[in-house]
Amino acid sequence: MSRPDPYGDPLPGDLGRGAPRPFPTQPPKRGPARAPGRDLLEPLERTLRWQLGLVDTKGRILCPEHGVEHTGKSACTAILALELSRRAPDELLTRAAVQQGERLVANLVREGTSPCHTFRPGRHDPFNCSNSVIDGGAAADALGSLVEHLGDSLDAPTRERFAAACLLHARTYLRYAVLDKGIPAQRAWGLTGLAAAARLERRLGEGSDHTLEHAAIEAVGVLEAIQNPDGSYPYHPMAWGAGHIGAGDVSAFYQSRVTGFLLHSLETLERVPTDPLFRTPLVRGLDFLVALQGVDGIKAGLVEAKPWYWGADYEVASHPFDVHALAAGHRLFGAAAYGRAAHRAFRAWAEHLDADGKPQSHRPGPGRERSYQCPVFWAAHAAWAARALDDLEAARRVLDEREPGTGEMELSLTWFPSAQLGRVEDGRVVAWVRGARPGCNAHHGSPHGAGLIRVQRRADGAELLKRCRLGGAQEAEWNGRAGAPSPVRGWRSGGAEVRFSLWLARVAWRRGERAGALALPARVFSRAVLAPAHPRCSSAFHLAPSVHLLGDGIQLEGGLAWRDGSPVPGARLERTFRVDGDGLEVEERLLDRGDAGSLGYRVPAAAAQVSESADAVRYRLS
């Protein structure tokens, strides 16, 4: 369907699809919720205090690393302060929320001579590390929420400014952007602002043609359509303009955003997410999210289309979105697993906070580096966990119920065919097995696959498999060398990433990391070009194994590949991963070495009952 000119006439009422379908319009009733416990409130309050400690004399939250006012994050700070003040009335919290609302209005400007009004800096300052639809979605959402929840406690001029800014942005920009942007999570964030504006418009008695509401519902349908059948979402679909095939992989970081933003937007629009019209894609998205999560609340981070964002093989920066989606899912769909997963995600996030409330994306450790995003981003996103406080408290009862998988349990295999991800578990361990995946380079696409990507002991959450995104020979993998160095292969894989490294260096320079900035292009060149050019090959780099689902596990038939995913001619492997009630049994067989030499298998340090020969190995993880 061709899109109307965003700078021309308004969208037609039927959005090109005929008359809107009837929808249920009564939101589901929520059960009574206890006041949130201090274990839930305190980490959020601490994070808000850290954010407000950055406010300058003009009321701006200035990012210490990027030197800008991240307006979209300031919008989230307003929501966080608002949500906390709603549960523990505090004039200082309310004033902080209103102060950031005023900053949003001050940053709303017209885009040149076009009718579009957007929130600066948006895409205009590259150090904002965001774009207009993300910032605008968050800002419109925050302004609509302030008007609705503060009501008459706002003076009339302030209330009118907030409402006018929310509606102006949605009418001139968001209603188009939610249908035009290439990344589903960005569209979904814009949708939250559009839904807030549509709700505000209806309550003010404006918008009789329901243009905003119709555009929001169309955006819901488009997002549902791009979801994979197994509930996962591509980070950036190739059909929507991705520049590298790896960007079309699924993302542990972004999964909960799309599902959670859809849930929030539907309820904001007073639609019923449990209605069959919406239920199936929402439940599928939540089920995939739960399957990614370990017993410690941390997701399998090597399932990630955007690994360059992170300095480790996991992150907790996405957990506030996980908490929100899962807690709402528990309320709406009644699955105890969602409630337990929401609390696990919250605990893991809170445990990564510094004493002053400054968040971390991961803990330091060998082979780990700083992440690209900044703590201002991560702290602001706590707003989404704050929105889930009532649902989290209401879900506490499931924490006292016996969780499947503690002690004895039946063997379980869950397979997600689109993502090619399997979760194999028994009472002792949980293991994640990846099959095929899109191609990858230094910045896009999951860095490891075609085998085990994580194994965790249930009893204590111990990691039984050491993994490093960028390290050498990996545990539980066949590693060797094949052929001579290939500069052509290396440049083909990562030459374009060297240019991107200059941008990353600029960001590091602005943070004041002069030495790091100067060294960064060389480091990216090493990872993006030299690594795939090197003759080192591994079973972890293979892109297209065949998968056989067993009653108690997964068998892969694959091979070896160089770092860029190019297969080593002739190499063949058979890899079997089973659970039997006493843990994970791994059996590896080298059927043909092909062109590979110096080939060996690295048995995990945590392995027991090891039986090893030149072409086969067998052991247990428990």
Residue 112 has pLDDT above 60, yes or no: yes
Mean pLDDT along residues 526-550 = 96
At 22, the pLDDT band (50, 70, 90 cuts) reads very low
Tokens 């199936």 correspond to what residue? 280
Residue 406 lies in a domain: no
Residue 12 lies in a domain: no
Does residue 430 share a domain with residue 508?
A: no
For residue 399, what is the DSSP state?
A: G
* SS3 (DSSP) at 170: helix
**Given pLDDT bands bounded at 50, 70 and 90, which one contains residue 20?**
very low
Does residue 10 lie within any of the structural domains? Answer: no
Whether residue 402 has pLDDT greater than 80: no
Q: Classify residue 304: in a domain, yes or no.
A: yes
Question: Are residue 430 and residue 513 in the same domain, yes or no?
Answer: no
Query: Are 442 and 506 contained in the same domain?
Result: no
> Is the domain of 354 the same as that of 471?
no
The reply to whether 229 and 294 lie within a common domain is yes
- Maximum distance among all alpha carbons in the chain? 79
Q: Assess if residue 614 is contained within a domain.
A: yes
Residue 569 is classified by DSSP as T
Whether the Cβ atoms of residue 503 and residue 446 lie closer than 8 Å to each other: no
Q: What is the rounded CA–CA span in Å between residue 604 and residue 455?
A: 11
- The percentage of residues in the chain with a pLDDT greater than 90, rounded to a whole number, is 83
Number of compact structural domains in the chain: 3
Q: What is the DSSP letter of 2?
A: P
* Range with lowest mean pLDDT among 29-38, 85-94, 314-323: 29-38
How many Å apart are CA 352 and CA 607, to the nearest integer?
29
Query: Are residues 50 and 171 located together in one domain of the fold?
Result: yes
What DSSP designation does 467 have? -
Question: Radius of gyration over alpha carbons of the chain, in Å?
Answer: 25
Q: Which domain holds residue 453?
A: 426-483+536-621
Q: Is the pLDDT of residue 27 over 60?
A: no
Whether residue 523 sits in one domain with residue 478: no
* Mean confidence (pLDDT) of the chain: 91
Rounded to the nearest angstrom, the gap between the alpha carbon of residue 503 and the centroid of all alpha carbons in its chain is 23
H or E element, residue 536 = strand 536-538
3-state secondary structure of 579: strand
Q: What are the tens digits of pLDDT across the range 324-369?
A: 999 999 999 999 999 999 999 999 999 999 999 999 999 998 888 8
Do 475 and 492 have their domain in common?
no
| DSSP code string of 283-313 | HHHHHHHHHHB-TTS-B-TTSBS-GGG-SSS
Please report the pLDDT score of residue 386 as a whole number: 98
Return the closest-CA partner of residue 214 out of 194, 192, 200, 190: 194
Choosing from 533, 548, 569, the residue where a domain stops is 533
Same domain, 546 and 438: yes
Is 30 inside any structural domain? no
Q: Tokens for 225, please give them.
A: 């359509």
What integer pLDDT is reported at residue 306 of this predicted model?
95
> How many Å apart are CA 525 and CA 521, to the nearest integer?
6
C-beta separation of 475 from 467 below 8 A:
yes
- In this structure, the answer to whether residues 380 and 514 fall within a common structural domain is no
Backbone phi and psi for residue 266, each to the nearest 5 degrees, phi listed first: -60, -45
From start to end of 126-210, where are the E strands?
Answer: none
**pLDDT bracket for residue 53 (50, 70, 90):** very high
The answer on 176 and 115 residing in a single domain is yes
Residues 528, 393: one domain?
no
For residue 538, what pLDDT band results from cuts at 50, 70 and 90? Answer: very high
Query: Is 14 within a domain?
Result: no
Q: What is the pLDDT of residue 443?
A: 93
Which CATH number is 327's domain given?
1.50.10.10
Residue 15 within a domain: no
Alpha carbon distance 586, 452 (integer Å) = 10
- pLDDT tens digit string along 544-597? 999 999 989 999 999 999 999 999 999 999 999 999 999 999 999 999 999 998
CA–CA distance, 27 with 195 (Å, rounded to integer):
14
Give the residue among 46, 141, 55, 50 at the shortest CA–CA distance from 84: 46
Q: What is the pLDDT of residue 192?
A: 98
Kindly indicate the confidence band of residue 513, based on its pLDDT and cuts at 50, 70 and 90.
confident
Q: 């509930």: which residue's tokens?
A: 231
Q: Where are the beta strands (DSSP E) in 458-562?
A: 478-482, 536-538, 546-549, 553-558, 561-562
pLDDT at residue 10 is higher than 70: no
7 or 171, higher pLDDT: 171
